[in-house]
Amino acid sequence: MVVRIRLARFGNKHQPFYNIVVAQARTARNSKPLEVIGTYNPVPQRPTNLSEEEARSARPYKDVALDRSRAKYWLGVGAQPSDSVWRLLSLAGLSESKEKAPK
Amino acid sequence: MPPRLQGQLATNPLLPYISSSSTTTSSSLSNLPTQYSSQLISCSSRRTNRSFSSAPSSQTKHRNEMFAWLNTGGSRLKDHKPGRTNYLWPKTEAGLESMNRDLKSSHPFPLNKDYISQPILSEELRNEIHTRVVFKKQSIRSVSVDLGVDMRRVGAVVRLVTMEKRMKQQGKSLALPYARAVHEMVPTTPLYYDVSEHRQHPHESINDLPVHRLTDPQIFYPVSESRQFNRVDAGRVFSAAPALERREAAENATNPAEVISRITQNPSRIERVGKGENEQEVLQPADARIPHPHLIQYERLAQSRSTEPKKNREAYKQAIMQEETAEKERKRLAKERQEQQLTKVQPDSSRFEFRFKDVVVSKETTGPDGRGHKAPGRRYGVPSYERKKGQVKIPTQVQV
């Protein structure tokens, strides 16, 4: 069976919040995973405490917490990231982006 | 069923009651359906009898007294003098004399001595605070001590005045009449011409000791008479830490100022006691926990070397400078550490920035049952108390 790195949805209605988890591919979305390696908050946050010039160019940000070494380990032993996690991992520089990856 | 009046219906059934309580005339009666009017007649007849009655009503006396007062003593409160509060004063001149100036301006109700209306900052004082912090680059701590205003209030004033100036620049309208009215309704703290006056008449007490949770229980702690037991020891007893060694305690006693500055400049090095979840910092003496610990040393010096006030002031300034540089350094290091842990990525394809924070998933962080709070992620199998009764989600205070 395939081990996947994927998102598990937490949070309330209209307030999504995800755990980045390593789990068997065929288990339920929010079942207990093998390991939680991070979190992802898809709700954009406004940066605060900025000077006026900084505030003009600042972008809203999305928070990701990730244990890089565990992510690398699981990728190394063949865990397959889901599309959304793949995108996050490629942003973190842990994998190539999906378009560039060999088919 | 009583006959209805033809073609005339009251639109509002509440109307008869309203009109009966005020003045009822016979002309308004004809407009009403008879089911109401029969009640109304009895009611209004009682009313008319009452108004002709010679029995004095209890309210009349008080009303008479009220009008008498409004025409004599109360008449001076009718139009208020601009720039001053318009509070009641005691009836007699003797009572007026007994109230001093401060009391008169802060007690709106002369019979209720416990009701004090707290002063607010005057326009000049708050502008002075803003000028000192923003243009003269003085520290919030020193401005707070000089003008007798709490540090949190100084911070708030700076932010609000900055905002006001920006609004003026943008040409937005300000609620000036409202502000003027409020300033006339409550006492204000003026900006004294001689700034040292602010020390004698501060706006508020600036050095309040916050009550710490650990000091709630009353502890009976027997101490031998031969031992010096001071605030440091008391703090250790409250947090259940072992007593200091004699040598260390003796060293501390020789130089109290240094002990305090050591605590305030390196808060991360405060000793911790307890295991696991119960680990906490040892409660520090009150001298170190108050907002302005340096004022204690200043007073100490003023008493011991009262002949050299200039030197004392220099020493005080020096201490504050040291404290500020230490604080700046601490903030810089904290920011650096935070940025080291944070990777910011701004992809071209997205409107957003992604901030990657490094976390650690290991046996130490997840704990033996996998539910440790240092590990990332929401917990599994732990109830969320989000919707539970009594969960306060509105912030009750602002940390500055």
- Count of other CB atoms within 10 angstroms of residue B194: 7
How many domains is chain A partitioned into structurally?
1
Q: What is the pLDDT of residues A10-56, one digit of tens each?
A: 988 899 999 999 999 999 999 999 999 999 999 999 988 888 888 88
Domain limits, chain B: 120-200, 215-341, 342-376
In this prediction, residue B99 carries a pLDDT of: 54
Range of the domain at A64: 3-92
Residue among A7, A15, A36, A100 with most chain B CBs within 10 A, to mutate: A36
Cα–Cα distances (Å) from B236 to B5, B273, B329, in that order, read: 89, 10, 29
A103 domain-assigned: no
What was the pLDDT predicted at B46? 43
C-alpha to C-alpha distance for B237 and B217, rounded to whole angstroms: 11
Q: Which candidate in B169, B339, B355 is best for mutational testing of the A interface (most A CBs within 10 A)?
A: B355
Q: Do A19 and B378 touch (CB under 8 A)?
A: yes
> Residue A6: is its pLDDT beyond 90?
yes
Q: Beta partners for B281? A: B272
Q: Are B258 and B283 in contact (CB under 8 A)?
A: no
Query: ipTM exceeding 0.85?
Result: yes
SS3 state of residue B399: coil
Ranges in chain B, pLDDT < 50: 1-49, 400
Q: What is the pTM of this model?
A: 0.70
What CATH number has the domain bearing residue A34?
Answer: 3.30.1320.10
Q: Which residues pair with A17 in a beta bridge?
A: A10
Residue A101: inside a domain, yes or no? no
Res B5: pLDDT: 42
pLDDT tens for each residue of B327-376: 999 999 999 998 898 999 999 989 999 999 999 999 889 888 888 888 99
Euclidean distance between the first and the last CA atom of chain A, given in angstroms as a whole number: 21
Torsional class of B251: left (φ above 0), alpha (ψ -120 to 50), beta (otherwise): alpha
- Which residue's structure tokens are 């996947």? A4
Other Cβ atoms within 10 Å of B187 Cβ, number: 21
At residue B329, the pLDDT reads 94
Q: Is A32 on the interface with B (CB under 8 A)?
A: yes
Give the per-residue pLDDT at B191.
93
Contact A68 B346 (CB under 8 A): no
pLDDT for res B51:
60
Angle in degrees, CA B56, B61, B65, rounded to 5? 160
Out of A62, A70, A88, name the one closest to residue B361 (CB): A70
